[in-house]
Structure 1
Amino acid sequence: MVDSLGNGLIFLLCVPRSGSSLSTVMLQNHSRIFATQEMWFLMSLVDLPTNEPRAYGGHSIIRQFYNAMVSEEVFERACRSFAMEIYNGFLEGNSAELVVDKSPRYYCMLEWLDRLFPQASRIHLQRNPLSIAASYKKVNRRTGEGFDLIGSLNSSKLNMKAVDLTLGIMRLNDYFAEEHAGAYEIQYEQLVVDPQGELEKMCDFLGVDYEQGMEQYGRFLDSAKSDMFYSMGVGDPYLSGHQEAHKNSVNNWNEILTKQETETYCRALGAGLFHRMGYAEQLEAAERWTGVHYEQHPDEELVQRLTNQFRKATNWDLQRGYRMQTGSRSAEATNSIRSSVTDEKEDSGLEALATIRQLQAALRAADLRLEQGYRERDRLRSQLASANGKIQRIKAWVPFGQQISAWASQRRGMRGEKP
């Protein structure tokens, strides 16, 4: 079962096209592990306070409700409770005890994952970045969408694939830069070359025994868990065409990417990242093929442009250099979360704390109303200025406007009318 600290929960973290579908379909064959295709639902929880317009209305009210009435602590606790209900609901009626949440683009909210479930296990699935880019191109060509790698990286508008291929990979490598007891790293290339050996090590990290044949996912297609896995219809479109891991997609990037695409992408990431990820040989092959020696550092102008584009579109700040925080704060997080979940009613200071929260919420609500009042005042002032401008223009268009106005006043006086 998944508890309030995240024990029993496994985050499989990577960017899209890294081989996460293959990893997950193998893990879900284990009798004690439940895994489905991509969930992504934690990202939707984070976005609740920035609710998008709905047909039934109330958009501004919902946003004000979260911002003015719901404290960050209460919101976080509510999200944790909701997530636990979802995760543990998966475990009902089967022998599984662990849940794998495999959701590419969780790299956007690593800080929130650390706060929400500090004791969850984290698996970092890595793949040669050039192979990831080639996989994007291959899959999109298959679906007819097409993928312009160079255009995506240089676009003046946000392109999430470009963010995946740069900021996503960078953030995950920063996040896992320091060793941690709750973190495990695996390379896609090693998984497909020696699936049993890699799964044995992964199972050992997760505290379960390896089960014979779990890497041969074609043998488990008739199970209930397998039916649920494939029911989502997302992930790797090529996965269901094979019974077990194969090496067809290892180091075939130069058959899909052009020299110009390879050069542009390597310059964007910088050589240092390839070395940190353990893909120095692949980088050397790219340098020999393109005839270019790449600088250690990434293209900072490109990185900053993508960061700004993402922030503007989502209001999320992708912090550079963020490291996993669960180790340094695990004791603090354990105490605070346990007290809020199990001992809250017994806390003698809870009444005072509730009063403080109510006052804080009232203050935020007042601030919002004041801000709305200022906006309404500015809007009315703008309308008044516009109306005055129109009147002045009308007067300028009418010849002898003042004389006509005086004449009209005289006529009203002769008739005994009040002006």
Structure 2
Amino acid sequence: MIDSKGNNLIFLLSTPRSGSSLATVMLQNHRKIFAAQEMWFLMSLYDLHLAPQRPYGGKEIVKQFFNGVLPYDTYIRACKSFALQTYNGLLQSSGEAEMVVDKSPRYYYVLEFLDALFPQSKRIWLIRNPLAVISSYKKVNRHTGDRFQLKEDLLSPKFNIKMADITIGLLRYCNYFAKENPHSYRLYYEKMVTSPQEELLKLCGFLGITYEEGLEKYGNFMDTSKSDLYFSMGVGDPFVGRHTEPHPDSLHIWKEVLDKEEIEMYCRVLGAELFHELGYSEELAEAERITGVRFESKPDEELLQLRTRQLAEAAGCRWIENYRMSADFDQADDNLDLAELPTGDDAVHPQVLQLQITLRSLEKRLEKSHNEQIRLRTKLDHITRKIDRAKAKIPFGNHLYQWASAYLNK
């Protein structure tokens, strides 16, 4: 079972199209592991306090409740309780499984939230050559009919979630996993498909379970209830089910799927340094040979800032800049704001809770009063400018204004 700190909970984190479906379809064959296709539900929990637009209205009321009445630590506890009930309910329905794998590629959106809820969960970072990722995007979206137009959308000022995935999503994971951590593990897609048994053996060691023979040959498990559930969800890579075990056929396909302009655009945006840090120096050298371009070390910071701002505006999220995983929440990195993400297990004292609610209410009133002052001051300045313009157009306008004022004040 999963406890309140997140023991026995595994997050498989990556950008979309990095091979997470393949990793999951192998891991879920282990008798101690339950893994569905994708869950995403923690993002919905996180979004509750952002009060997104709902068809029944009341956005400002809901926002006031979550941000003005309900203390944030109470909200975190409620989210944790819901998540625990969900994960453990899945375990209870899965037979002898003891661990849950939550594979949700866009969890880069809620990394601070993950640490707040389950600081001792295991987090696997699945890494793949970024050029192979966008070639997979292009290939799969061509197959499914979805839009993926790198040339049109990568540098476009319009927001596109897929462009956010392959830029700020990737860099968020790079920052998050920058330091070695006892709760984190780096799994490389290329090694997973060329030496699956060896990589699964090491991964099982990290998870604290014994490797079971034949996990990587997922075709042998097609008739099991776990496999039926996995493939019935219909999300993830549509090509996984066409094979029975990992294969290296797609390792270098990016050279065929991407043209020179796409390769150059994406490498310029990410910068050469990222390829070196991830271990893809040879692939970068090949990209430079194909394009005839020597790429700058640093990424396109202006574009990354634009994408970050766009996602924040679209979703209302707030991120800690350059956020890194904390080994334990009680001993978090200095860049983690403990006031924003409390997670203690002790119940909040009723008097403390009342004071917190009162304080939040007063803060909101002060904020509202301050905003009203700004509004009225702006309106006053606008009216004053109109009067000044009117006086300037009237001969002897200033004298007339002074005479009228003096007469009215008698």
Q: TM-score range by the shorter chain?
A: 0.7 to 0.9
Q: Which shows bigger deviation, 165-174 or 46-55?
A: 46-55
Question: For the Cα contact (< 8 Å) 1:6–1:120, is it kept in 2?
Answer: yes
The alignment partner of 2:154 has SS state of: helix
Question: For the Cα contact (< 8 Å) 1:14–1:105, is it kept in 2?
Answer: yes
TM-score by length of 2: 0.85
> Identity of counterpart residues, as a percentage?
51
Shift of 1:373: 7.4
CA-based RMSD:
2.5
Question: For the Cα contact (< 8 Å) 2:326–2:332, is it kept in 1?
Answer: no
Alignment of structure 1 residues 23-102 onto 2, 5 Å: 23-93=23-93, 94-102=95-103
Alignment of structure 1 residues 401-416 onto 2, 5 Å: none
Q: Partner of 1:271 in structure 2?
A: 272
2:64 and 2:329 map into 1 onto residues whose CA distance is 34
TM-score by length of 1: 0.83
Q: Partner of 1:362 in structure 2?
A: 358
Question: For the Cα contact (< 8 Å) 1:307–1:318, is it kept in 2?
Answer: no
Question: For the Cα contact (< 8 Å) 1:195–1:215, is it kept in 2?
Answer: yes
Q: Which shows bigger deviation, 257-266 or 369-378?
A: 369-378
The alignment partner of 1:105 has SS state of: helix
Q: Partner of 2:248 in structure 1?
A: 247
Change (3 A) 1:234 1:327: same
Which 5+ residue runs of structure 2 have no aligned equivalent? 387-410
Q: Which shows bigger deviation, 102-111 or 3-12?
A: 102-111
Change (3 A) 1:370 1:50: same
Q: Partner of 2:209 in structure 1?
A: 208
2:241 and 2:302 map into 1 onto residues whose CA distance is 40
Alignment of structure 1 residues 211-290 onto 2, 5 Å: 211-290=212-291
Deviations 1:138-194 (A, max 9, x none): 111112223111222211121111111111111211211111111110110110111
Matched, 1:179 2:175: no
Whichever residue aligns with residue 200 of structure 1, its letter is L
Deviations 1:278-299 (A, max 9, x none): 1111001101111111111111
Shift of 1:124: 0.6
Shift of 1:242: 1.3
Question: For the Cα contact (< 8 Å) 1:177–1:323, is it kept in 2?
Answer: yes
Matched, 1:145 2:141: no
The alignment partner of 2:186 has SS state of: strand
1:95 and 1:330 map into 2 onto residues whose CA distance is 34
Change (3 A) 1:304 1:371: closer
Shift of 1:338: 6.4
Whichever residue aligns with residue 356 of structure 1, its letter is V
Q: Partner of 2:2 in structure 1?
A: 2
1:364 and 1:220 map into 2 onto residues whose CA distance is 54
Structure with greater Cα Rg: 1
Question: For the Cα contact (< 8 Å) 1:174–1:321, is it kept in 2?
Answer: yes
Change (3 A) 1:98 1:330: farther
Q: Partner of 2:159 in structure 1?
A: 158
2:119 and 2:99 map into 1 onto residues whose CA distance is 16
Shift of 1:331: 9.0
The alignment partner of 1:67 has SS state of: helix
Which 5+ residue runs of structure 1 have no aligned equivalent? 345-349, 390-419
Q: Partner of 2:109 in structure 1?
A: 108
Whichever residue aligns with residue 224 of structure 2, its letter is S
Change (3 A) 1:331 1:95: farther
Q: Which shows bigger deviation, 214-223 or 4-13?
A: 214-223
1:139 and 1:260 map into 2 onto residues whose CA distance is 20
